[in-house]
Structure 1
Amino acid sequence: MKKIALFIFIAMTIISCTQKEPGQVAKNYVPETPKLSSDVMTPEVLWSFGRLGGATVSPDGTQVLYTVSYYNIEENKSYRDIYTIPVAGGEAKNLTNTASNEYNVVWRPDGKKIGYLSSASGSVQLWEMNPDGSDRQKVSEIEGGIFGFQYAPDMSKICYLQTVKLDNDIHDLFPDLPKANARLETDIMYRHWDTWHDYTYNHIFIADYSDGKVGAGTDIMSGERFDSPMKPFGGTEQIVWSPDSKTLAYVCKKKVGKEYAISTNSDIYMYDVASGKTSNFTEGMMGYDQNPVYSPDGKYLAWESMERDGYESDKNRLFVADLETGEKKDYSAGFDQNAAALSWSADSKSIYFISDIHATDEIYQLVLADNSITRLTDGVHNYQSAVPVGNQLLAQKVSMSQPAELYLVDPTTGKDKALTTVNKGILDQLTMGKVEKRWMETTDGKQMAVWVIYPPHFDPNKKYPALLYNQGGPQGTVSQFWSYRWNFQMMAANDYIIVAPNRRGLPGFGQEWNEQISKDYGGQNIKDLLTAIDEMAKEPFVDETKLGAVGASYGGYSVMYLAGNHEKRFKAFIAHDGIFNFEHMYTTTEEMWFVNFDYGGAYWEKDNAAAQRSYSFSPHKYVQNWDTPILIVQGEKDYRVPPEQGMAAFNAAVLRGVPAQMLYLPEENHWVLQPQNGILWQRVFFNWLDKWLK
């Protein structure tokens, strides 16, 4: 019977591997460029931009593969298509244009096919097509579907990602109670970011592959109650094949429950394909170790590494290991900045990476031979990636005035030229506000970079209300990012002056500046924020009687703290997913390493002076001073800053008799991801500000 079942399975697999993607009547949503009635940003225009996905270069170096997503506001959903464009420049070509979204899009190592994931057949499977988009075929039939894959360089195998159920749920424990709806917990980390633990784990499988045929997969983490890639944000960047296809390196934090919740100690593991054995390559390295990248010649492995366990915002170091000698070296030891998005040169002699410097993200090059690091670019922008293509770099770039596009960068001069123009049709119709960097002296005599964004048709003879933008993180960058929620051009388009300071606790100004905020939430960084708005309020074009403060996450905390400590400066507040009560936050958030490091410990540690000082900064201790209108925004699925924080703040304001509103979003997490919710958010945001500041 087992042999018959196996035969049927193999036969069905052969049939499914040659199944063509069915023709679809419904096409993808690729809208015509809208004709705008005004040259200033609106929420609807903001959600009309095409969103560029990750780009890869063809093996022969002539084509770039990428995705673009568009949101259909009426349907409240997104559509993603696959595109190619010649490296030499020219017209972009849409290869798919189907009603199914495609993702995890890569070139097959021989360049003859493009591999991607699609749910066109019902479950998410691996599909392939020719580089011109023709002959789309499904090449896997993996029960339950997959959510990621990579080809081995020699194309003899693929690895793919799948969730595996290993824990018992309530119905496994009590099968005679099929309608019971409950959980039975014995440890923490039962929910993370925006989902409750579903008793499954992300595992890596390896399967034989031969020109469009995928064999049976082997779980290389069989029985392990760990995740690779790591939740909630890890993807295929945490998994990489060695150039000889003999080893698979992957990132994992092999801890569970409380130990997982208090630790950031992830490691890079090496799986030997021939023997099936796994070894911990970064054993003894105690912080985050992730995103490994092999050199093209296979002699080196580079990766991003943090030193301290439990500190998620530690310096992101650039480590390189000599795989022949086993030596591991921190090549950024004398470089007081972070290193991310590592990419090897073709000759394996240097590494390109991205680093935040003084509120912009720039491209750098490390030359291994002399351990030299050189900055290659300079401008008012953020580069998000840079990979070699011939004698150039293919880079993704954004700014406060433009969503992501692909550029070709000359590493010698640092100059770039646009390769894609996904949003040119809309951008050409808009007038963006001036973006200006100012340096201001803080209360302790240091220099702080502050971005000022002016309304599109700024008139220096008028007086404008001004908004103090409070960044989240707390170690999130206030660089030249483009956001679909906290969009500075969107705010400026509503005739506000935006003041966005790089206060204490932000990267790009050295580790000391970045780390100062921990255990000092109500201290120097709050003074930095007030310095920024006070300095701008002196300008003749700013109405000092109409100042607002807005922010999310740690920025939401900052707003709530300022609400009780602002000395009548502000006339309106907006706090999104902010921390209101530190004690409650400590025992309800999921990633305990964050509150342990930033607060300094638990609130019951009465002899812990640092922790007790931190808890003295809790906004709920200053509610008696609240007297200014406040809008609270809260996502129900936010388990980082749990929803009761926003409810408590709103209730306290109402009980105090303070004008207040609460925008509660039952289907959103720490962010706002759905189109109609995103537009609603913008409308409520500006309705509230206009009511009190105009």
Structure 2
Amino acid sequence: MTIRAMKFTPQVLLSTPRRSAGVPSPDGKFVLYTVSTYDFDKHSKTTETKLLDTDVNFVDTLPDGEKASDFVWLSNHEFAFLQGEDEGATSLMICSRPEGTAELSTSYVVEKIEAPVANLKIASLGDDEFGIVFSAQSTKEGKLFNPEKAPKTHSSGKLYSTLFVRHWDEWTTPQRQSLWYAKLSAPKDSKRTLSKVQNALSGSGLSSPIEPFGGTDHFDVSQWGLIFVAKDPELNPALHTKSDVYYLPIDWEGKGSLKSPTRVRIEGFDGASTCPVFSPSGKKAAFLSMKKDGYEADRNVIFVMPDLHAVKPHAEAVLAGVEKTAVWDRSPSSIAWTADGQSLLVVAEEEGHANLFEIHQNKPHKLFTPGVVSDVKTLSSGRIFVSGSTLVDNSYYAFIDMAAASQSDSAPSIWSHSNTDSGVKLGLNSSQISSIWTPASNPKVNKEVHSWVFKPSDYDSSKTYPVAYLIHGGPQGAWNDAWSTRWNQAVFAEQGFIVVAPNVTGSTGYGQAFTDAINQNWGGDPYQDIVNVFDYVGKHIPQADNSRAVALGASYGGFMMNWIQGQPLGRNFKTMVCHDGIFSTANLLSTEELYFPLNDLGGYPWKTKKTEAVHPFTTASAWHKWDPSAHLSEWATPMLVIHNSKDYRLPISEGLAAFNVLQAKGIESQFLTFPDENHFVLKPENSLVWHKTVINWIRKHVGLEPFAEEEEGGVEFMGGLKVEEEGKDEGKETKET
């Protein structure tokens, strides 16, 4: 960014250049990354590949880097990457920067692969040769699948005879994700070549990475072979989260047939596994695994495989404790090895942040990292390169010196680089952010609840401001000190609101017991936590005008909007915004991952011998107890409802039902939908409409001028017949729903 924003608006948020995680060279001198920028005047996005020289902070732009991705350094001066081609093909490219020069050489094509390819990983095999692995879809026969060249059918019909007919925003197909491998040769006549690409999972019945969000965090490669995670093929993925770790030796010379993957068995751990990583020597490995099947937010336990070459390789738990008691009550989300292979580096949420920890000799030590760490890379020197963000900075890179960091929790980074000058270019600063701690509804699991408070940049303590309460989704999630282009607290604060974002019961990063406490408790303790936060703000923040309060939430936060509508707190808000929320718990039976409501609501909503054996049923079922549609008679607060057509997690009927009730009751309401979006609104033009519509709605109901004119919103406004509000039409029979 070269121009400082005068005011942080949704358009500034969405047009601010977005950096990928940085990929440093082994010595840390160069960092590769991509930058994508959306231009609302041209209605188009541009993507560039950048090379940052960390010695002088000079940034160079790679020519023809618009479709480049998945950068992997082969040496300090040579790197490989993937490049998208026409008709669904992908090229494996090589580019170098000759030592002693300031110019990049022209990249060249090593191999053109006739399919969409992603998630490139490379391991040194010695003698300047490398083993490469990437992911791509495969056909039933185990061959590469290119959807652009697949035969077209004359009918759009799809016939299913088992669960899991669709996932996230796509209908399931016979194709599956596979891992493919080949050997990259040493240069000959200045160019490298690639051996035949082979499907490592062919005939195994396994699929990896796990869709829809699995990537390089689901596999790793070494000179010895491949380690990866895959769903248990004997269990239906709609009912189970169980995934296992597999080790597959690879003969990179291709002289022998490929062996079958060996499953790593861990007694008592039947949940999801992720983040398998080889040590630098390739002789050890580590990964994360959960105990409980069907529970996505169970605590991740660290496992280490000390000897992959043993006759029977085994895994040992780290910091696990005994029974249900954990030595370290945090749940890591990612894992890596230090350069010497003696310690582990893990990222774990902690009280509104995602910190980097070193695990050495079975003891955790927190390293200094601001905000939320999103990616970690180890350099050959032993230094650590991290990518991350904060609530005011959309991207930072930093080097951490392990020797200094191991001596203190506050050891500063030895080099950093911010995309937005720590928010200054956006008109934001960290002084706008503070925290409050309020009494928890259930002191047995946590005595206090943490909330972020975000004030406008032009905040004047002599004035009062309307309050926007943001409720996060999950429900096992959290508002962290991280940047977001979907629910950005600064956007609402800069519209003249004091933003309060509570991490209520069920939130992650405050101990596993606090996370687990939301089970079968959706409208109980979390709701009371919000009431406590609301009361605290009204009593202790005089600048916060609770008489002009609004509430907004998405997913579980949307459920909470619908729940609050039927509860006393709902009458304290001027308006609410419900994005892709749950209207009726019964309709959760239409979700794709059925294990989610079965776990969170305590089993099936019916009783049979078969279901009782799998999920215990209670007469006081949470399915009925926490159903927002059971309290429709109390709904009275104006609400904006947003729901998207491709949301298969919570189908659009949920949003339509809520809007229909509001309209039938004569409650002021609007319905916004995007037929081409899923559970999120990701396309920049759609996101701008989302922001304009939401901000206009909440500003109107707290007495502020519109943020944008209706005709500027870029949304097709549909008129309709007005429904009289219940009880207002005297002399006529009141209509009820």
Question: TM-score, normalised to structure 1's length?
Answer: 0.88
Match of 2:109 in 1: 138
Conservation of the 8 A alpha-carbon contact between 1:54 and 1:66: yes
One-letter amino acid of the structure 1 residue matched with residue 503 of structure 2: N
| 2:555 aligned with 1:553 | yes
| 2:416 aligned with 1:441 | no
User: Alpha-carbon deviation of 1:74?
Assistant: 4.3
Against the structure 1 CA distance between its residues 620 and 189, is the aligned structure 2 distance closer, same or farther, given a 3 Å change threshold?
Answer: same
Q: How does 1:6-21 map to 2 (within 5 A)?
A: none
What's the CA shift string for 1:565-591, capped at 9, x where partnerless? 134211100011111111111x21011
User: Alpha-carbon deviation of 1:89?
Assistant: 4.6
What's the CA shift string for 1:197-240, capped at 9, x where partnerless? 13211111222322432232221222455421110001122121
Residues in 2 aligned to 1:220 and 1:252: alpha-carbon distance in whole angstroms: 13
Match of 1:428 in 2: 425
Match of 2:718 in 1: none
Question: Which runs of 5 or more residues in structure 1 are unaligned?
Answer: 1-31, 169-175
1:72 maps to which of 23, 35, 39: 39
What's the CA shift string for 1:157-196, capped at 9, x where partnerless? 322322123299xxxxxxx995322111111212101111
Determine what percentage of the aligned residue pairs are the same residue: 27
Against the structure 1 CA distance between its residues 626 and 377, is the aligned structure 2 distance closer, same or farther, given a 3 Å change threshold?
Answer: same
Against the structure 1 CA distance between its residues 128 and 685, is the aligned structure 2 distance closer, same or farther, given a 3 Å change threshold?
Answer: same
What's the CA shift string for 1:621-650, capped at 9, x where partnerless? 111111000011111111111111111111
Matched positions, count: 646
Conservation of the 8 A alpha-carbon contact between 2:90 and 2:112: no
1:125 maps to which of 69, 91, 100: 91
Q: How does 1:130-529 map to 2 (within 5 A)?
A: 130-131=96-97, 132-154=103-125, 155-166=129-140, 178-210=153-185, 211=187, 212-223=192-203, 226-242=206-222, 245-255=223-233, 259-274=236-251, 275-284=257-266, 285-323=269-307, 326-333=313-320, 334-367=327-360, 370-377=361-368, 381-389=371-379, 390-410=381-401, 411-412=405-406, 413=408, 414-416=411-413, 419-424=416-421, 427-428=424-425, 430-432=427-429, 434-445=432-443, 446-529=447-530
Against the structure 1 CA distance between its residues 259 and 559, is the aligned structure 2 distance closer, same or farther, given a 3 Å change threshold?
Answer: same
Residues in 2 aligned to 1:79 and 1:251: alpha-carbon distance in whole angstroms: 34
Residues in 2 aligned to 1:341 and 1:425: alpha-carbon distance in whole angstroms: 25
One-letter amino acid of the structure 2 residue matched with residue 153 of structure 1: S
User: Alpha-carbon deviation of 1:52?
Assistant: 1.7
Conservation of the 8 A alpha-carbon contact between 1:296 and 1:347: yes
Higher alpha-carbon deviation: 634-643 or 48-57 = 48-57
What's the CA shift string for 1:398-427, capped at 9, x where partnerless? 111111210123424431255323233973
Against the structure 1 CA distance between its residues 60 and 584, is the aligned structure 2 distance closer, same or farther, given a 3 Å change threshold?
Answer: same
What's the CA shift string for 1:533-590, capped at 9, x where partnerless? 22112232122211111011111111110011134211100011111111111x2101
User: Alpha-carbon deviation of 1:438?
Assistant: 1.2
Residues in 2 aligned to 1:117 and 1:536: alpha-carbon distance in whole angstroms: 51
Residues in 1 aligned to 2:388 and 2:15: alpha-carbon distance in whole angstroms: 19
One-letter amino acid of the structure 2 residue matched with residue 50 of structure 1: P
Residues in 2 aligned to 1:378 and 1:126: alpha-carbon distance in whole angstroms: 34
User: Alpha-carbon deviation of 1:264?
Assistant: 1.1
Conservation of the 8 A alpha-carbon contact between 1:352 and 1:365: yes
Against the structure 1 CA distance between its residues 305 and 77, is the aligned structure 2 distance closer, same or farther, given a 3 Å change threshold?
Answer: farther
Residues in 1 aligned to 2:508 and 2:130: alpha-carbon distance in whole angstroms: 42
User: Alpha-carbon deviation of 1:509?
Assistant: 1.2
2:663 maps to which of 654, 657, 664: 654
SS at match of 2:622: helix
Residues in 2 aligned to 1:629 and 1:271: alpha-carbon distance in whole angstroms: 57
Match of 1:24 in 2: none
SS at match of 2:49: strand
Conservation of the 8 A alpha-carbon contact between 2:393 and 2:422: no
Against the structure 1 CA distance between its residues 501 and 627, is the aligned structure 2 distance closer, same or farther, given a 3 Å change threshold?
Answer: same
| 2:677 aligned with 1:668 | yes
Question: Which runs of 5 or more residues in structure 2 are unaligned?
Answer: 98-102, 143-150, 252-256, 321-326, 609-615, 704-737
Against the structure 1 CA distance between its residues 329 and 178, is the aligned structure 2 distance closer, same or farther, given a 3 Å change threshold?
Answer: closer
Residues in 1 aligned to 2:160 and 2:294: alpha-carbon distance in whole angstroms: 24
Conservation of the 8 A alpha-carbon contact between 1:522 and 1:617: yes
User: Alpha-carbon deviation of 1:507?
Assistant: 1.3
User: Alpha-carbon deviation of 1:252?
Assistant: 0.9
One-letter amino acid of the structure 1 residue matched with residue 157 of structure 2: A
Q: How does 1:529-608 map to 2 (within 5 A)?
A: 529-538=530-539, 539-567=541-569, 568-585=571-588, 587-605=589-607, 608=617
User: Alpha-carbon deviation of 1:384?
Assistant: 2.2
SS at match of 1:140: strand
Higher alpha-carbon deviation: 431-440 or 620-629 = 431-440
Residues in 2 aligned to 1:374 and 1:426: alpha-carbon distance in whole angstroms: 29
Residues in 1 aligned to 2:301 and 2:530: alpha-carbon distance in whole angstroms: 29
1:113 maps to which of 44, 66, 78: 78
RMSD: 2.4
Higher alpha-carbon deviation: 650-659 or 275-284 = 275-284
Match of 1:9 in 2: none
